[in-house]
Amino acid sequence: MELYLDSVNLKEIASAIDIGIIAGLTTTPTFMHREGIEDVDSTIVELSKQVPILQIEALGRTSDEIIDEAYRQEALGLDRETTVYKIPMSMEGVKACKHLTNVGFKINLHLVYTLQQAYMAMEAGATYVCPLVGRLQDQGGDAIGLVQSMVGLTKEYGYKTKVMFSSVRTSQHVREALKSGAHTITVPWKILEKLTDHHLTEAHTEQFFKHN
């Protein structure tokens, strides 16, 4: 399962890159502004050189606006092979996804909450489909069952789309992603830095050093 960091904080991003195991970064220009980053475009281009895959939004209301934004960001210096453009699920998003994937862009159709939405994304050739597990669970939805069904679609019909487990709130979510067969997970730094923790590991490590 591919491990992505979900962050706009440059210190967190640097720390995650330093570990050496993340497959990529998912980030958001809107939140970068809130973080105090003034030159967002330059920051995005610089980050794209530091991570294997950068997932960044191509925002717009219409398919034409979404397509134009993807081309605009490419013109800044982003590479189609190492950049995935995130597009919110909608009919316009599906239309933009189909156009962009036909010409070689990689697309993540996200904000997906139903199996039929995932089906539309896969039919449109999305590289990733992104269910928001935590948010769906907040509404009482069976998010884990949804992820399992999405993975099942890829196996049953041969779709090459990867299911990205997102809106991760706890370490338990990472365990559930692994059990569900999700292809990819994107986690915040506060979760990532705890994935090696367990009280027994800590206790036994202390015992080891005491006896040596």
> For 120-134, how does the pLDDT look when each residue is reduced to its tens digit (9 = 90+)?
999 999 999 999 999
Q: What's this model's pTM, rounded to 2 decimal places?
A: 0.93
> For 172-182, how does the pLDDT look when each residue is reduced to its tens digit (9 = 90+)?
999 999 999 99
> For 3-30, how does the pLDDT look when each residue is reduced to its tens digit (9 = 90+)?
999 999 999 999 999 999 999 999 988 8
Q: Which residues are catalytic?
A: 86
Own/partner pairs, 59-65, CB within 8 angstroms, 24+ separation: 59/88, 60/92, 60/96, 61/92, 62/92, 63/92, 63/93, 63/95, 63/96, 63/99
Q: Which DSSP symbol is given to 161?
A: P
Whether the predicted pLDDT of 211 surpasses 70: no
